[in-house]
Structure 1
Amino acid sequence: MPLSLPTLFAVGLGTLAVAAVMTFWERRFNAERARELMCWTVGYILMAIGCGIFLGRASLPLIVVQGVTNILMVGGYWLLLLGAMPFVGVRLPRKTLVFALMAATVWLLIGPNLSYAIWSAVGSFFITIPCFALALMLVLNGTTGPTRSWVLAAVVFGLHGMVYLARVVVIPFAYSLNQDGVLDAIALFTMFEGVVFSMAAPMALLSLTREESRHQLLRASQTDFLTGLDNRRAFTQRATPVIAERTEELEPAPLLVLFDLDNFKQINDDYGHDAGDQVLKIFGRVARSIFGPQDCVARMGGEEFAALLIGREHDEAKQLLRAVSARFAVEVLAETAITRHVTFSAGLVAVRPGDTLRALMTTADHLLYRAKQAGRNRVETDLDVAPAPASVVADDDEPHARPTLARVASRSA
C-alpha cells in the first residue's frame, strides 16, 4: 500500500479507534479515574471521526471538511488535556466550556472561507496550545507524582506540539512561494507523525494512570488504615537507612520514641471499641501535627506507636512529647464520650553509631516497660540528662484541665 494521505488517515482512524476502546476498557479497573478515562475516550473518538470525515472529503461540503473536521480534531486534543488536569490537581473553570462553544461557532462561520494557508495555520495553533499545556503541566508537577510516566507523556505531547507549531510558521511561508510540493510533503510528514502520536499518546496516558494506581496501592500497603500514619513496614523502610547512616559527625543524634497508650484495654472495655478507635485516631493526628514533616511517625500495631525524630535536641524532644501529651488528653475529652484523662507512656533512645533498628526498638521497649512499671504517663529515656521536674496533674474538680507527662526520667547511657 503506497504511503499517501488517505492511507495515513485510515491508519490514524484505526489506531484512534483502538485507543478509545482500550481507554474505555480501563475504566473497569480504575473507578477513581473513570471520569478522566472517559474524557480521553471521547477525545479519541472525536479525532477518529475527524479522520473519517477527511477520507470522504471529496463528497462533503466545505463547511464540514474545513469546519466540522477542525472542531472535532481540536476538541479531541482539548479533551486529552482536560482529562490529564486532575492528575496534577488542576481543573478548567466552567466558563471555559462557554468560550469553547463560542469559538466553535465562530470557526464554523469563518473557517470555510479562509485560504488553505490561514486555515491550516490557525487549526495547527489551536492544537499546539493543549499539547504544550499538557506537557508543561506534567513537567512542572512531575515531582509530586509517578514521575517516569509523567515524563513520557510530557515528551510525547511536547514533540507533537512542536510539529504543529512548526506548521503554523512553515505552511503560510511555503504557500506564499507557491511550493505545492513542499506543502504536500509537510502534510504527509504531519500525518505520519500524527499516526505515531495516535499510538504513543494513549500508551503514555494509560501508563500515567496505571502508575498512579500502583503508587496508591503501594502507599496503601504502607499506611495504617485507621490512623493514616505509616505502618510498621513503612516505618522500618524509612527509619533503617537513617539509623544506618548515623555517624559521630551527625548531631544532634536521631531519637527513637516508642509510645504505648495507658490502660487502653480498659478504655475499650468501659467505652467500647469505637471509642478506642477514636482515641487511636486522635493520638495519630496529634502526633503527626506536632512532630515535623522530617520526622517518621507510625502506628506499630494495637495501641503502640513509634517516632523517629530527626534533628531534635534532647530538650526539644521532651517539650514535643509534653505537647503531644497535653493536646492528646484535651482532644480526647472534647471529641469522645470518655470522661477520664487518657495518657501514654514512652521510651526514648538516642541513635548511636553502630545501632540497628531492631536493637533500638528492644531498648525503647525496655524503657517503655519501665515507664509502665513506674506509674505510667511518663517517658523513660537513656539520655544522660537530669530528670525533668514533675508537671502539674489535673485536679479532680477540673476534669478538663490538661494533664502532661508526670515526669521524664533518665538513666546513664
Structure 2
Amino acid sequence: MHVDLITIYLLAIGTLLASCGMTLWERRTHPRRKRELGTLAAGYATLAVGCATVPIRHDLPGVTGSALSNLVIVTGYLLILRGVAVMNGRQYRALSVGILLGLALAWVIAGTRREVPMWNYVSAIPIAAACGMASRELLRSDGAKRAQAKDIAAVVSGGHALFYAARACILPWVATSFGPGMLSAIAKFTVYEGVLYSVILPMTLLRLVRDEAHGELLKESRTDYLTGLGNRRWFFEEGARIVRINEASRPVALLALDLDNFKTINDRYGHDAGDEVLKSFARIANDVLGPEAMFARIGGEEFAAVLPDHDRVRAKAMGEAVAARFAQTISHGAGGVEIRATVSIGLAQSGAEAATLTDLLAAADRALYSAKSLGGNRVELAQSAPPPPMALDGVACGS
C-alpha cells in the first residue's frame, strides 16, 4: 500500500499531539514531576506545530518559511532536552538559546541560494545535538536511579541523534552518488523514523515517571514516618536477605536497641518531646553505625541494626559507641527543656545458635533484657543457649 508523504506528516503530528495530551494527563497525577512533564508536553506540542509547517513552508517568501519551520522543530527538541535534564537538576537554558540564535544566524547567512543544503543537511545538526544530550542525561543517573524505561528512552533518543547526525554528514555524499531521487526516499524515511520516535520516547518517559512514583510509594511503605529509618517490614525483609547471603561465609551481628525509661519521658515531658528524643537517637545511631549497617525502627522506642561482616568484638564496640554518644546528647522538649536519655543494647552474632534473622533478634532481645536488668545504658552479649540435658537409660544426668 502506497502512503504519501503528507499522510505520514499527519500521522507524525497526530502522534505528537496524542503524546502531548497523555503527558499532560499524567502531569495531573504526578505533582512531584509536574514541571518536567509540563515541559515535555510543551516539547511534543511544539514539534507537532513544526511538523505541521513543513509542507507549507514554501508559501512564505524566501527562506522565511523553511527557517521558521526548522527553528520551531529544534525548539521542540530543546524543550524535550530540558524536560529530561530537569529530572537530573539541570536545564541547558543558556545552551538552548545559543543553539537557536546560531541556527537563526545560519539561515540568514544561507539565504535563498543555500536553502536546499541548509534544509537537508545543516538543519539536522542541532537536532542531533539536542537528542544526543537528552540521551546523555538519561544515562547520567547513578545505579540506584537507573531503570529499564530510562535505558530504552536513552537508546531511542540516542538513535534519533545518530540518524540526524548521519543525515547531516552522510546524506550529501548519498545525494551526490545516487541522485535527487534518494533525497525523496530519505525524506520519507525521516518522517517514518520521526513517527516511531514520537511514540516510543513519550511512552518510555511516562513509564519512567510511573516507575519512579511506584518506587516512592514502595519506599514510603518501608520507611518509618518519624525517624526516616526503615520500618519493621523493611527490617525483616532486608535483614533476612542479608543473613541468608552471609550465613555461610561471613559473620553477621545484630543489635537490639531500646531507650531506657522512655514511658517516663513521655509522661513527664509529653509525646512531642518523646518524639524529639526518638529522632535524636535515630540520627546519632545512624551516624555512628554508618552506611553499612541496616538500621531500622521496629517498634515504639525499639530499634534494631544488622551489621554485616561484624563479629562480637567489633559489633560490641559499635554498640558501646552508640550508647556513649547518646548518653552525652541533650534533646530539647517544649519550651527548650533539656532531656537526657540512655539506651540499652543487646548483641547477638550469627552462628549455630542463631542461624536466621528471627533467631538473631530473639537472642539479642534476651541480651537486651539482661542489659535493662543491670541498670541500662550498656551493651550485653547474648549467651549461647544451654544444650538440652542428656539422658542415660531414660534417667536425666545429675538426677
Scaled by the length of structure 2, what TM-score is found? 0.89
User: Is the 8 Å Cα contact of residues 146 and 208 (structure 1) preserved in structure 2?
Assistant: no
1:32-71 Cα shifts (integer Å, max 9, x gaps): 1000001001101110001111132343334443111111
Aligned: 1:284 with 2:282 = yes
1:265 pairs, out of 260, 263, 266, with 263
Partner of 2:366: 366
Q: Which moved more, 1:168-177 or 1:157-166?
A: 168-177
1:105 to 1:335, Cα distance in 2 relative to 1, 3 A = farther
Counterpart of 1:121 in 2: which secondary structure?
helix
Aligned: 1:325 with 2:323 = yes
CA distance in 2, matches of 1:200, 1:156: 7
1:124-145 Cα shifts (integer Å, max 9, x gaps): 1111112122222323425231
Counterpart of 2:186 in 1: which secondary structure?
helix
CA distance in 2, matches of 1:49, 1:71: 11
Q: CA RMSD in A?
A: 2.2
1:365 to 1:255, Cα distance in 2 relative to 1, 3 A = same
CA distance in 2, matches of 1:322, 1:364: 15
1:228-243 equivalences in 2 (<5 Å): 228-243=228-243
CA distance in 1, matches of 2:213, 2:62: 45
CA distance in 1, matches of 2:168, 2:104: 22
1:249 to 1:61, Cα distance in 2 relative to 1, 3 A = same
Partner of 1:86: 86
CA distance in 1, matches of 2:278, 2:215: 26
Runs (5+) with no aligned partner, structure 2 = 385-399
CA distance in 2, matches of 1:134, 1:168: 19
How far 1:329 sits from its partner (Å)? Answer: 3.4
Partner of 2:313: 315
Counterpart of 1:348 in 2: which secondary structure?
strand
CA distance in 1, matches of 2:103, 2:165: 21
CA distance in 2, matches of 1:193, 1:210: 26
Partner of 2:108: 109
User: Is the 8 Å Cα contact of residues 288 and 297 (structure 1) preserved in structure 2?
Assistant: yes
CA distance in 1, matches of 2:96, 2:124: 20
CA distance in 2, matches of 1:145, 1:159: 22
How far 1:11 sits from its partner (Å)? Answer: 0.6
Matched AA of 2:90 = R
Partner of 1:19: 19
Partner of 2:351: 352
1:274 pairs, out of 262, 272, 275, with 272
CA distance in 1, matches of 2:185, 2:92: 39
1:133-170 Cα shifts (integer Å, max 9, x gaps): 22223234252314111111111112111211110122
1:297 pairs, out of 268, 292, 295, with 295
CA distance in 1, matches of 2:225, 2:147: 26
Partner of 1:96: 95
Identity, % of aligned positions? 38
How far 1:365 sits from its partner (Å)? Answer: 1.5
1:187-206 equivalences in 2 (<5 Å): 187-206=187-206
How far 1:112 sits from its partner (Å)? Answer: 4.6
CA distance in 1, matches of 2:325, 2:92: 41
Runs (5+) with no aligned partner, structure 1 = 385-413
Partner of 1:378: 378
Counterpart of 1:27 in 2: which secondary structure?
helix
CA distance in 1, matches of 2:359, 2:304: 14
How far 1:78 sits from its partner (Å)? Answer: 1.3
1:107 to 1:309, Cα distance in 2 relative to 1, 3 A = same
User: Is the 8 Å Cα contact of residues 319 and 345 (structure 2) preserved in structure 1?
Assistant: no
Counterpart of 1:298 in 2: which secondary structure?
strand
Aligned residues: 381
1:54 to 1:93, Cα distance in 2 relative to 1, 3 A = closer
Partner of 2:147: 147
How far 1:242 sits from its partner (Å)? Answer: 1.9
CA distance in 2, matches of 1:61, 1:280: 73
How far 1:279 sits from its partner (Å)? Answer: 1.1
How far 1:98 sits from its partner (Å)? Answer: 4.4
User: Is the 8 Å Cα contact of residues 66 and 112 (structure 1) preserved in structure 2?
Assistant: no
Matched AA of 2:237 = Q
CA distance in 2, matches of 1:248, 1:213: 37
CA distance in 1, matches of 2:130, 2:367: 60
CA distance in 1, matches of 2:75, 2:365: 62
Matched AA of 2:34 = A
Partner of 2:50: 50
User: Is the 8 Å Cα contact of residues 371 and 378 (structure 1) preserved in structure 2?
Assistant: yes
1:119 to 1:228, Cα distance in 2 relative to 1, 3 A = same
Matched AA of 2:39 = C
Counterpart of 2:344 in 1: which secondary structure?
strand
Partner of 1:215: 215
CA distance in 1, matches of 2:183, 2:318: 71
